[in-house]
Amino acid sequence: MKENEDRRSADFNVRVRVMERVWEELRKIEREAEHIHSETLKKSEELIAIAKKDAEKLLSVSKKHTEAEANKLLNKSLREAANERAAALEKNEKTIKELRTTVKKCLDKAVNTVFDAVLGAIKV
């Protein structure tokens, strides 16, 4: 009987040591999991910061590109407006010249008509 008890006690002690090793291994795994979790949080914060910086750079580049395109469009519109203005001014100057020529002819004709009327009335 004593032999049985000793064997049981030895088996129990072996089981306790095994359970202690299992418990220590579980604690080690838990610490590793906590470390992995902590590193993952740290890396995710770093990635978020990098993503924010990249987004800011992209917005800045996009804004500069948009401003450059807007300036190109504005300059193109200003050139087109200047060309249209110059064409309209040239056309108006041509019209004015034609009207002056027409007015001069009409004035000459009117003056001649008045002279003819005055001279015809005075004819002696």
Residue 64 identity (one-letter amino acid): K
The C-alpha atoms of residue 77 and residue 85 are separated, in whole angstroms, by: 12
pLDDT of residue 4: 74
| Nearest Cα residue to 88 out of 80, 76, 77 | 80
pLDDT of residue 5: 76
pLDDT of residue 124: 47
Q: Has residue 123 got a pLDDT over 60?
A: no
Average pLDDT over residues 99-112: 91
The C-alpha atoms of residue 124 and residue 116 are separated, in whole angstroms, by: 14
What letters, b where the CB count within 10 A reaches 16 and e where it falls short, cover 65-97?
eeeeeeeeeeeeeeeeeeeeeeeeeeeeeeeee
Q: How confident is the model at residue 121 (pLDDT cuts 50, 70, 90)?
A: low
* Segments making up each domain of the chain, as ranges: 1-87
